[in-house]
Chains A and B, each alone.
Chain A
Amino acid sequence: MSWRDALALAARAVWRRLGRSALTVIAVALAAALLTGLLIIATTARTRVLGQLSKGGPLASIRVERQGLAEVDLRRLSEVPDVRSVAPISVARQLILPPTPSVFGAASPATQAVAAVTTEPFVDGVVGIDMRRAALFPVTLLAGRLPMPGSTTEVVVTEGYLRHVGVDESRPVSVLGTQLELAEARFLGQAFDDGVFSRWTRATIVGVVAQEAGAGDVLAPIEQIRAAERFAGESTAYTAVLVEASSLESVGRVHDAIETMGYSASAPENLIATVQRYLHVVEIVLSAIGLIALVIAAIGITNALLAAVRERRQEIGVLKAIGARDRDVLRIFLIEAAIVGFLGGLAGVTVGWAIARTVATVVNRYMVEQGLAGVQMSFPWAILLGGLVASTLLALVAGALPAVRAARLPAREAMAGA
């Protein structure tokens, strides 16, 4: 008997006893949904917690500071063993002119949202990072997007900026699209009667972030800061450097090596490693709960198939009488079990994913109301495929005993039992 014939016979058997099959599929689906939903929620929560601890940057990052950091320091740091990448940070104190209708002429809806009160220019830090490697930095996007790498006309702002201009922090999108004017000053000194030259740029706010890369409420591509520093004639040394180690386990080694080289380094790896261990235990417990549910469903499959073997003795006898071998009968019943497991798994991971999305939506709404960044759910391919495969395999295991019993049934005995 070919696999195709066995599959057809097994599918027909499932279809003929639709009620019993449906109940078994539902049992598997519920268990798979529980397992999938719990795992997705656990991994999303882990990402959020660890992200919060690392302030949005990679877990294995180390902040390096020293006077006069230059390109040669970036090269030296990148040559330290177990260093994956290095990225500089520059911070410039600039005059910031937020938009107000009286200054910018006709008010757009976005400008009006910002200018509830007249806002005077103020001096603040503008933090420059390489936007091509934004994932390396402790920056969490709250609204909009990050500036394009190398852009001279886009910036993002922090919640501190929202407070400064009198915008409701729970509505960060209201500043998106408004324009800032930023100025770097070159002080001329007494020889020029303490005059000031200034260099102005205009930038559109494209996002709102929480960031701890540097002291300032505006975040811009580093190219903007470097150009401003060149105009001001100030030192073009970097304010700090972020070093990413190849793994959480190597952070300690890299940290020590950097400090030996004479730099000042800091990393939160101890706290993150501890929290990771606790979260791992939580995931194991949740997985165990889901697996227990799957095992219970598998017992149901065994029970249902044993009953099917008893009811289909004559059918088995006829099959053997017309030439089916023991392994053909085994194959039919195993495929039947696999079909139930697969269908139940498919339904289960779908429902589990939907439950996790619903929970995330509710949690996000609450967190935004509390002024916190929400959770970001990426599509959990591994968990969904794993749930589907686990359900199918477990059903195969559950169906093994009934399938063996059916396969070993002598043809004459099976026919006689009719």
Chain B
Amino acid sequence: MSLRGLAAATVGFLALTACGGGGQVGSAVLPSVSPSGRALTYVAIGASETVGIGADHPQAQAWPQVFYRTALPRAAVLVNLGVPGSTVAQAVREQLPSAIAAKPDLATVFLNVNDIVDRVPVSAYRADLEMLLEGLRSTGARVLVANVPPLDQLPLLKACLPFAPGLGGSCDTSRRISVEKIDRTVDDFNGAIASVASATGAIVVDLHAASLKVRKAGGEASIISSDGFHPSTAGHELIARTFAAALRRAFPGVAVGDP
């Protein structure tokens, strides 16, 4: 054997027996991590529905959580500013400053039912909503704003007719309401929402139509929680799906997941 051949054999042997330590343990079984997508900031402004009231597991099943989980890239951040019982006027004071500070890329607004329950005049509601949406628009965020779902068949409301629902599930006998009046009020508010959204460049998320579709299919009871007022787990999922569909239609480059 020549010297050259011996040297080559030695190098070859050492190379073959070299074994890297690496930085992984059991790497063969580690699933690949899918791309994380854009790191966009999503701000949710709203009231009790926005924090998941009515769902079986509010922290995990609130509709903004479901929307965030299913329709936005994995790297997205959700800032949930929902405050139970909030009206639009309260949201302008309490939630809007934090929303602006978060520098959102996307914002959702679901604030209307409490204003109706608190008998806020539609003109005042329109002005407050305009202030809120203009404030969000100033950040450059894409804004989705929900309209009012049908309220006439809510168990809590029907249980108190002809009186209005009161605090803590009771009925306020000092106030009389009717289904027709409720429907008119909902229509007025939805008109105001559509008008303000159009003026501020926000996209309307038609919860009203989505809920009517479920009612027509006979499934309305399944989307209302046992308290007779808030959405159930299925109701939160419906809200999230409706927002996701609106997002895909209006901003197709942002949404992920199945249409």
Which residues on A are within 8 Å of B, measured CB to CB? 4, 7, 11, 95, 97, 103-105, 110, 120-121, 141-146, 151-154, 173, 176-177, 179, 181, 183, 186, 188, 192-193, 195, 197-202, 204, 206-207, 231, 346, 350, 353, 374, 376-379, 384
Q: How far is the CA of A71 from the CA of B98 in the complex (A)?
A: 27
- B3 and A154 contacting across the interface, CB-CB below 8 Å: no
Asked if residues A97 and B59 are in contact (CB atoms below 8 Å), the reply is yes
| Interchain CB contact (< 8 A) of B80 among A145, A198, A202 | A198
The answer to whether A103 and B60 have CB atoms under 8 Å apart is yes
Chain A residues, CB < 8 A from B29: 173, 176
Q: Which residues of B are found within 8 Å of A95, using beta-carbon distances?
A: 59
Task: Specify the chain A residue showing the minimal Cβ separation from B24.
Answer: A145
Docked Cα-Cα span, A377 to B21, in Å, equals 7
- A143 CA to B23 CA in the complex, in Å? 10
Chain A residues with Cβ under 8 A from B74's Cβ? 153, 179, 202, 204
Task: Report how far A181 CA is from B66 CA in the complex, Å.
Answer: 12
Given contacts A144-B26, A193-B84, 10 further A-B contacts (CB under 8 A): A103-B61, A141-B24, A145-B23, A173-B26, A179-B74, A200-B79, A204-B74, A374-B25, A376-B21, A378-B21
> Which residue from A145, A195, A376 sits with its C-beta under 8 Å from B83?
A195
Closest residue of B by beta carbon distance from A15: B1
- The interface residues of chain A, by DSSP majority, are classed as mixed
The interface of chain B, by Cβ under 8 A from chain A, is 1, 3, 10, 13-14, 17-21, 23-27, 29-31, 33, 36, 39, 57, 59-61, 65, 68-70, 74-81, 83-85, 94, 98, 102
Assembled-state Cα–Cα distance A199/B103 (Å): 13
- Pairwise interchain contact B1-A11, C-beta atoms closer than 8 A: yes
> Which single residue of chain A is at the shortest CB-CB distance from B237?
A105
Quote the shortest CB–CB distance from A174 to chain B (angstroms).
9
CA distance A7 to B70 in the complex (A): 74
The answer for the CA separation of A193 and B47 in the assembled complex, in Å, is 13
- Contact A195–B84 (Cβ < 8 Å): yes
Residue ID in chain B nearest A200 by CB atoms: B78
Interface centre among A193, A202, A231, A350, by most chain B C-beta atoms within 10 angstroms, is A202
Minimum CB distance partner of A146 in chain B: B23
24 A-B residue pairings within 8 Å (CB atoms):
A97-B59, A97-B60, A103-B61, A104-B69, A121-B59, A142-B25, A143-B30, A145-B24, A152-B75, A152-B77, A153-B74, A173-B26, A183-B59, A198-B78, A202-B69, A204-B74, A206-B33, A207-B25, A231-B102, A350-B17, A376-B21, A378-B19, A379-B17, A384-B14
Identity of the chain A residue whose Cβ is nearest the Cβ of B75 in the assembled complex: A153
Distance, CA A121 to CA B56, complexed state (A): 13
**Total A-B pairs, Cβ < 8 A:** 117
**Contact at B30–A177, with CB atoms within 8 Å?**
yes
Interchain nearest-CB distance for B60 vs A (Å): 5
Q: Which residues of A contact B17 (CB under 8 A)?
A: 350, 353, 379
Return B139 CB to nearest CB of chain A, in Å.
Answer: 16
B31 touches A110 (CB 8 A): yes
* Chain B residues, Cβ within 8 Å of A121: 57, 59-60
Contact A193-B83, Cβ < 8 Å, known A121-B59, A200-B68, A201-B77:
yes
Given contacts A11-B1, A197-B98, A346-B10, is CB(A177)–CB(B33) below 8 Å? yes
Shortest beta-carbon contacts, A-B, top 10: A177-B31, A200-B78, A153-B36, A378-B21, A195-B83, A103-B60, A145-B24, A198-B80, A173-B29, A121-B59
Shortest beta-carbon distance from B153 to chain A in Å: 27
